[in-house]
Structure 1
Amino acid sequence: MKKRLAALLFAAAVLVAGCGGGGSTGGGTNPIPGPTQTPAAQGNLPLSEAAGGSNAWVNPSSHRTLYFLDVDTATGGTCTGGCLGIWPIFAAQAGSVGSDNMTVITRSDGAGQQWAYQGHPLYMYAGDSGPDQTNGDGIPDFGGHWHVARPAAAGSATPPPGDPGCHGYC
């Protein structure tokens, strides 16, 4: 049911995005989007909203909390195979462009493009049954610990001394 709803929402978004294409009347220039239009290049950029008692990055369509595995990096993801059944990737839509510390990476296992925050690939957790749940936070699994991906506080680009290995995300 959830997959069907997600597929319908994606199809509706594609249809809506394609509605503004029309033919050219010879002007030769493309209009600049107005202030109320969101550039399509942002794709499915994660949102920051309250989850688990403080702000967290969430999937913009389902509002499911996003997680990272502390041993994953942008160049060497360890969540593959069976791991992806429990921790599905937060895939970047075609044309998605990063912003600040949010980037789009290409997975080395052929699973496509994925969002990453501060170099950590982002995943959802199969144990979260609804929006803004954080049931996967702190789970030791697949060679590391899973943490809710939380926006860094202003001015805290590096983890504080004595950080317990969470790289500022705990």
Structure 2
Amino acid sequence: MKTSPHRLAIGATTAAIAVLAAACGNGSSAGGSGPGTPASSTGPSTATTATSGTSGSTGTGGATVITRRGGLGTYLTDSAGRTVYEFEADSNGRSACSGACVSVWQPLTTKTKPTASRGATAADVATITRSDGSKQVTYKGHPLYYYSGDTAAGQTTGQGNDGFGAKWYVLAPSGAPITHGAAATQSSSGGYGGY
């Protein structure tokens, strides 16, 4: 079958639009990541629970921090399995993410006392008060954030991102940042593990 120049132009235009749309979605225009943006991770990690009460702001419910096993090892998520990150620019239990940063890295907030289960330690979960008065969940003193580029449970596309002046990492259950490995597509053969 012969391909016309018109069809080739349409195909190239469609591909260019897709690339631009993907670039707009990763937050790079707002001081977010640039060429070093980690690859997407959309494969199934294994969550240790699947109930939800959180998504950026928790509304009327409380936040629960749990663990999940995936391509980066065992790391912290919310109760729905959505990955939470720490920001290396945060210090002394204070958030350094405000303004345009919170549109890309949404703080995990709660209206009630946060909890931990399934491998996360309850004594390590607390809150700080943000400048807008909301209560942001912390783990071992690290304020926790969602990455807007993660669109499903188990994704770690923000891992190693250097947007807004410092690196962003997932946290191990010990509270230590997991600094190895940018996000990578995970195997679809994962089974339940963890705690």
TM range (shorter): 0.5 to 0.7
- 5+ residue gaps, structure 1, are 15-42, 158-166
Q: CA RMSD in A?
A: 2.7
Q: Structure 2 CA distance, aligned partners of 1:101 and 1:141? A: 26
**Deviation for aligned residue 1:101:** 1.8
- In the alignment, what sits opposite 2:150? 128
Indicate if the aligned counterparts of 1:64 and 1:130 stay in contact, CA closer than 8 A.
yes
- In the alignment, what sits opposite 2:95? 77
Indicate if the aligned counterparts of 1:58 and 1:66 stay in contact, CA closer than 8 A.
yes
**Deviation for aligned residue 1:46:** 0.6
Indicate yes or no: 2:78 matched with 1:59: yes
Q: Structure 2 CA distance, aligned partners of 1:131 and 1:44? A: 15
Q: Structure 2 CA distance, aligned partners of 1:6 and 1:59? A: 7
CA deviations over 1:47-92 (Å, ceiling 9, x no partner): 11113341111111x3110001012135431100110000001112
Distance 1:106 1:133, change over 3 A: same
Q: Structure 1 CA distance, aligned partners of 2:134 and 2:98? A: 12
Indicate if the aligned counterparts of 1:73 and 1:121 stay in contact, CA closer than 8 A.
no
Q: 1:147 aligns with which of 169, 173, 183?
A: 169
Look up the equivalent residue of 1:80 and give its one-letter code: S
Q: 1:45 aligns with which of 50, 61, 64?
A: 64
Q: Higher strand fraction: Structure 1 or Structure 2?
A: 2
**Deviation for aligned residue 1:130:** 0.4
TM-score w.r.t. length of structure 1 = 0.61
SS in structure 2 at match of 1:68: strand
Q: Structure 1 CA distance, aligned partners of 2:177 and 2:145? A: 17
Distance 1:78 1:6, change over 3 A: closer
Indicate yes or no: 2:191 matched with 1:169: no
Q: Structure 1 CA distance, aligned partners of 2:178 and 2:112? A: 27
**Deviation for aligned residue 1:139:** 0.6
Q: Matched residue pairs, number?
A: 120
Q: 1:114 aligns with which of 117, 121, 136?
A: 136
Indicate if the aligned counterparts of 1:102 and 1:115 stay in contact, CA closer than 8 A.
yes
Q: Structure 2 CA distance, aligned partners of 1:103 and 1:56? A: 17
Q: Structure 2 CA distance, aligned partners of 1:68 and 1:124? A: 9
Q: Structure 2 CA distance, aligned partners of 1:83 and 1:123? A: 11
TM-score w.r.t. length of structure 2 = 0.54
Look up the equivalent residue of 2:160 and give its one-letter code: G
**Deviation for aligned residue 1:95:** 3.5
Indicate yes or no: 2:124 matched with 1:101: yes
Distance 1:81 1:100, change over 3 A: same
Q: Structure 2 CA distance, aligned partners of 1:64 and 1:97? A: 15
**Deviation for aligned residue 1:97:** 5.5
Q: Which has the higher contact order (CA 8 A, sep 6+)?
A: 2
| Percent identity (aligned) | 27
Indicate if the aligned counterparts of 1:86 and 1:125 stay in contact, CA closer than 8 A.
yes
